[in-house]
Structure 1
């Protein structure tokens, strides 16, 4: 599958990348909201997260759509980078400490992390209490 069209699995579902768009379809039954608008808080811009541009219900599914910055790569591609880039990205992930600093549940799965070499790391899926998230593993295990 080309970089423009990728499937990336995380604990709660599968991301589909198409160009600079990333979508995640989740079964409506996994959510605990009364109205879809309760998820709109996730659309607020945060420099550590990809921009969530759309949250819609379609056929008993909730579809989250994110915008990917130009030339961004999935963390799953990191092993193919040189050691300097791998080290810089690891250092950035450690310094961000989003699990501790965020009010959200954040998947630390490499398929949920995106980077631009030597510059920045973004996380895609973050869940509030109304959304599905991995509660089976400790932060250290993640």
Structure 2
């Protein structure tokens, strides 16, 4: 975007923050894909029903976070589009509206990433449990 010079410093700051959050969400997508792969591999190698049920529950929690992530992405895209339209003088700059929207976005970002951090801890903790409890040979999950 080349025309951001017409934005106020506050609106430009909101634009930069929204783009950074978008970048963070891109990383989130790669990381959750990796976690899903780990859980899938674990699921197909596990022999006990309890362990499989735990994997399914962790996957459900990831899906819920994905739904929240999709809402956040939509809201971020909307914010960025609005800021771009403001920079092109298509719509007037309304810093108070932007501030309210930015606060809601910040709440959403903080919430999703704190929930994700806790879920990631749960997943890693689950995958690090002694594998003999779950009927999984250690060499199947962590080959030499």
Settle same-fold status: TM greater than 0.5. no
Structure with larger RCO (C-alpha < 8 A, sep 6+): 2
Question: Of Structure 1 and Structure 2, which has the larger fraction of its residues in strand?
Answer: 1
Question: Of Structure 1 and Structure 2, which has the larger fraction of its residues in helix?
Answer: 2
TM-score normalised by structure 2 residue count? 0.29
Highest Rg: 1 or 2? Answer: 2
TM-score normalised by structure 1 residue count? 0.30
